[in-house]
Amino acid sequence: QSALTQPASVSGSPGQSITISCTGTSSDVGGYNYVSWYQQHPGTAPKLMIYEVTNRPSGVSNRFSGSKSGNTASLTISGLQAEDEADYYCSSYTGSSTLVVFGGGTKLTVL
């Protein structure tokens, strides 16, 4: 099972919006509404930001939103803040014996 494709890096200025893409296939992203997004700051465990494509766990800012079109899922962060600078990973259900596949990760830099 190949990893999902994410851009290596994205950047934006405070207050702006950015979108991170996550491209898979019809066997993972496109086939199921089970895409999650994680935020990871250096030296810490990942934090769930979005689950099942569009849902935000309790306590996650509404500046974070998720969507999906075909085989590509997206994470949008609006009103960028310095604290958003982190690595972001998408994951998807696959339906194969390897049930979950992650993207390679995207480093977000807040300029």
Tokens of 80: 């960028």
Residues that bind another protein (CB under 8 A): 1, 3, 34-36, 38, 45-48, 51-52, 57, 89, 91-93, 96-105
> Smallest gap, in angstroms, from Cβ of residue 38 to another protein?
7
Is the Cβ–Cβ distance between 75 and 37 less than 8 Å? yes
Q: Quote the least distance from Cβ 83 to another protein, whole Å.
A: 19
**Sheet with strand 64-69: strands edge to edge:** 18-23, 72-77, 64-69
In this structure, are residues 92 and 4 in contact, taking their beta carbons and an 8 Å threshold? Answer: yes
* Residue placing its CB nearer to another protein in the complex, 88 or 110: 88
Q: With respect to another protein, which residue has the nearer C-beta, 17 or 55?
A: 55
Pick 2 or 62: Cβ nearer another protein: 2
Which residues are registered as beta bridge partners of 36? 91
